[in-house]
Amino acid sequence: MAYELIIVETEGRVGRITLNRPKALNALNSDLINEINAALDAFEADRAIGAVVITGSEKSFAAGADIKQMANLQYPDAYLDDFITSWDRIARFRKPIIAAVAGFALGGGCEMAMMCDFIIAADNAQFGQPEIKLGVMPGAGGTQRLTKAIGKAKAMDLCLTGRMMGAEEAERSGLVARIVPLADLLPTAMKAAADIAGFSLPATMMTKEAVNRAFETTLAEGLRFERRIFHSMFATADQKEGMNAFAEKRKAEFSHR
């Protein structure tokens, strides 16, 4: 597929998607989402890809859903077309995916970052759910994922006032895994992704699946799920390689199987 609103690259076993709609601060319209979804489908199908980084520009990760495209949307069309359903492809992506966020991550942009496995933020990052200022509310997980990430008090504050939260507050609140200087954002995210992609692919995918299960089930069920997957790893070639390499004091060469 030819991409017009994103740039898709690979570096070793890492895939990178760069949102590239600078004039609109990477506002998310349907064409942009369709392109992201196509790139993710391709990366997911490609065994040579072990992790993905999604990023925007230095000024804006994504300033939200395209307000101009949404302005005249009517309820029957929103309902019948199930508006936004296709936007959660990132949340269903099975391989590890990191959001490298600089500048604005607002509305759907913040929601998109939260669909990733973790967020590395530049020190100029600004997160927010400003939908309330537009007469609506978050629609792609903002009220749910944000609340799980930072708790009720902060989530209510952000969703009800529409204020922005800087990188330091976001890290302190648990939304962001790491903050780095702007110039280090991409190298840091790519290094983290390359480290992850160097590990056993079944192991990283299963780890991600198990961590995500913690958000959807009870502790007892989650622990049972973890134990079952953990046992299944003894059927992988990479478990044999990883443990034998340790015993033989050499670096493991994973076959990602």
Binding-site ranges for ligand CO8 (CB under 6 A): 24-25, 27-28, 63-68, 84, 87, 104, 106-108, 111-112, 130-131, 134, 138-140
Does 140 qualify as catalytic in the annotation? no
For ligand CO8, give the closer residue by CB, 150 or 192: 150
Contact predicate 48/85, CB 8 Å: no
Would you state the structure tokens that stand for residue 148, as one six-digit string? Answer: 């799980």
Does 131 qualify as catalytic in the annotation? yes
Q: Which one of 56, 108, 109, 142 is the catalytic residue?
A: 108
CA–CA separation, 200 and 239 (whole Å): 8
Does 241 qualify as catalytic in the annotation? no
Q: Which one of 100, 131, 170, 197 is the catalytic residue?
A: 131
Would you state the structure tokens that stand for residue 193, as one six-digit string? Answer: 């992704």
Does 108 qualify as catalytic in the annotation? yes
> Of 116, 131, 128, nearest to 70 (Cα)?
131
Q: Nearest distance from residue 88's CB to ligand CO8, in Å?
A: 8
For ligand CO8, give the closer residue by CB, 14 or 25: 25
For ligand CO8, give the closer residue by CB, 107 or 198: 107
For ligand CO8, give the closer residue by CB, 13 or 21: 21
Q: Nearest distance from residue 111's CB to ligand CO8, in Å?
A: 5
Q: Nearest distance from residue 197's CB to ligand CO8, in Å?
A: 25
For ligand CO8, give the closer residue by CB, 25 or 175: 25
Q: Which one of 51, 63, 111, 197 is the catalytic residue?
A: 111
> Of 201, 187, 204, nearest to 55 (Cα)?
187
> Of 98, 62, 99, 102, nearest to 183 (Cα)?
102
Q: Which one of 24, 39, 62, 65 is the catalytic residue?
A: 65
CA–CA separation, 248 and 107 (whole Å): 50
Q: Which residues contact 217 (CB under 8 A, 6 or more apart)?
A: 225
- Strand-pairing partners, residue 14, are 11, 51
Q: Nearest distance from residue 87's CB to ligand CO8, in Å?
A: 4
Which SS3 state, helix, strand or coil, does residue 9 take? Answer: strand
How far out from the chain centre does Cα 133 lie? Answer: 25
Q: Which amino acid, 162?
A: G
Angle formed by the axes of helices 219-232 and 201-213, nearest 10°: 170
Catalytic annotation, residues: 65, 108, 111, 131
